[in-house]
Amino acid sequence: MKKYLVGFALWGINIVGAAAQTTPTNLPLDQAIQLALKNNKGVKLADSRTQAAEARAQEVKDRGLPQANASLAYSRYSLTGPFAFGEGTDGKPLFGIPAGAFNATMGGATVSKEVFGGFAEKSARLSADLLARASQLDARRNRQELVYTVTDAYYNIVKLIRSTSVIDQNIRQFDEREREARNLEKEGIVTANEVLKIQLQKNNLQLSRLQADKARQTALYNFNLLIGLPENQVVAVDTTLSNPATTLEPLESFLNQSVRVRPEVQANSLRVQAADAQLKNVKSSKYPHLGVSLGYNYINPTANVIPEASSFISAWNVGAGLTYNIGSLYNLKGRLNTAKTAIDQANLQSQQQTDQIRSEVVTSYNNYQLALEQQNVIRTALTQAQENYRLTESRFRNGLVGATDFLEANSFLIQAQLNVINATVDAQLAYQRLLRATGTNL
């Protein structure tokens, strides 16, 4: 008996655990956006590109620091010989190399720095810094795109949930209408064929319900991937729908704001400046380069690492050098043309980007105004569909119209209810597109 009681207790614990795992996690839109910004792989990749650009800028700065090197070497020199050439009057050779060998330890340290390089160092650092800042703005742009993508996915899930709720409500109403139609059939008010039409319409609604449910499951799965949650995490979204803004500032205000705020505009401006700095870097080859150095040399003609006093030679040296690349007088034409072309391309790309942004703002502004106006029309249509359904249902119960008219009125009502949901969600997304176009949705 204890065995069965224990088994039943464990089964109960498993049931409770399973229920806990499937408890939906409430996820407001702003929290979903924060999760996406934290976990999304695209954002992490953009951050990685920014870090790479900053690393390249640091490399340029490192190359501008004084260069220092040191060396220490030991050598053993073996003399060839004995070797003699010729003979003098005293009987000694005119030239000879005695046999034997000696040791030598030599070392040195040098610090050098280019004092003037035709502004090459300054322009290279400026170009690298500007490109690193442009990369940061690119990463910001990716974040803005992600915010809109998450918002779009979130509200589409809301649309599916709200639509499913409307369908469920109408299925329940059709169950009631089917029962009423059967009673009216018994009284001879409606025919069996009309009852069959009601059943067919209910089946169609059930099919739509299945399709909407599967679409919702797919959307939630992709949404979890987008914001970085586990694939099997059950989330509950906020299905409250309202218009974020019913009145807008003048269009010109949005246009000015987009050109001022959009990260693409700022990034393109920085790239134009970077291209100009690169041109100065190329021109630096036309100038003479001046460098200074400080060195120390050590020569020890013995095998002892630490020599005895006065048995080694050491010397300090300070120097300055001036160099000029004569080839820069005739071999820079191609590099200069390339740098100038890069500036022209950066300017044209910036102008093209600005035109696209202004077009995007105008389109988003007009689409949001259209969404607000469509809502008014659709809400009026819903009121009319509700009244038409009420009158047709009353006449159907009294046998004044057939099932065809009743089902048509019901279809108009369902479509009007779904249109209201779609219009409200579309207005939300249209407003988010306007914010994205002006660069203020992050």
Q: What angle do CA 393, 398, 404 make, to 5 degrees?
A: 50
Burial 283-311 (b: 16+ CB within 10 A, else e): bbbeeebebeeebeebebeeeeeebeeee
pTM, rounded to two decimals: 0.74
pLDDT by position in tens, the chain (length 442): 444 433 433 344 343 444 444 577 788 889 999 999 898 888 888 888 888 888 888 888 887 888 888 888 877 766 655 556 566 666 666 555 555 666 777 788 888 888 777 677 788 888 888 888 888 888 888 899 999 999 999 999 999 999 999 999 989 888 888 888 888 888 877 788 888 888 888 899 899 999 999 999 999 999 999 998 888 888 889 888 776 766 778 999 999 999 888 998 999 999 999 999 888 888 888 888 888 888 888 777 766 666 666 666 777 888 888 888 887 778 888 888 988 999 999 999 999 999 999 999 999 999 999 998 998 899 999 999 999 999 998 888 887 888 888 889 989 999 999 999 999 999 999 999 999 999 888 7
Torsion over CA: 249, 250, 253, 259 (sign): positive
Instruction: Give the pLDDT confidence score for residue 357 in this predicted structure.
Output: 92
Are the beta carbons of 439 and 258 closer than 8 angstroms? yes
Residue-level pLDDT at 19: 41
What is the C-alpha separation between 190 and 402, in angstroms, rounded?
A: 7
Contact, 291 vs 324, CB < 8 A?
A: no
**How far from 150 is each of 30, 42, 251, 368, CA to CA, in Å?**
10, 13, 26, 19
pLDDT of residue 304: 66
Return d(Cα 124, Cα 278) in angstroms, integer: 7
Angstrom distance (rounded) from CA 296 to CA 110: 6
Task: List the structure tokens of 217.
Answer: 């499951």
Q: What is the pLDDT of residues 271-297, one digit of tens each?
A: 999 999 888 888 888 888 888 888 888
The pLDDT of residue 7 is 41
**CA distance linking residue 119 with residue 104, whole number of Å:** 43
pLDDT at res. 219: 93
Beta-sheet pairing, 83-85 with 95-97: antiparallel
Three-state DSSP class for residue 98: coil
Q: Are 433 and 367 in contact (CB under 8 A)?
A: yes
Per-residue model confidence (pLDDT) at position 89: 66
At residue 316, the 3 state secondary structure works out as strand
Contact partners, residue 135, CB within 8 Å, separation at least 6 = 49, 50, 52, 53, 54
Q: What is the mean pLDDT of the chain?
A: 83
Number of separate helices (H) and strands (E) present in the chain? 9, 8
Residues 6+ apart with CB under 8 A from 227: 32, 35, 36, 39, 40, 150
**pLDDT number for residue 210:** 92
pLDDT of residue 156: 92
pLDDT value of position 12:
44
The whole-angstrom separation of Cα 60 and Cα 277 is 13
Distance between CA atoms of 338 and 255, rounded to whole angstroms? Answer: 34
CATH no., domain 25-68+118-289+333-438: 1.20.1600.10
Q: Are strands 289-300 and 313-323 parallel, antiparallel or unpaired?
A: antiparallel
pLDDT tens-digit map of 98-154: 556 667 777 888 888 887 776 777 888 888 888 888 888 888 888 999 999 999 999
Residue type, 426: D
- Is the alpha carbon torsion for 257, 261, 266, 267 positive or negative? negative
Query: Phi, psi (5° rounding) for residue 400?
Result: -85, -25
Per-residue model confidence (pLDDT) at position 149: 92
The answer to whether 294 and 115 are in contact (CB under 8 A) is no
Nearest residue to 274 (alpha-carbon basis) of 136, 120, 134:
134
Strand partners, 339: none
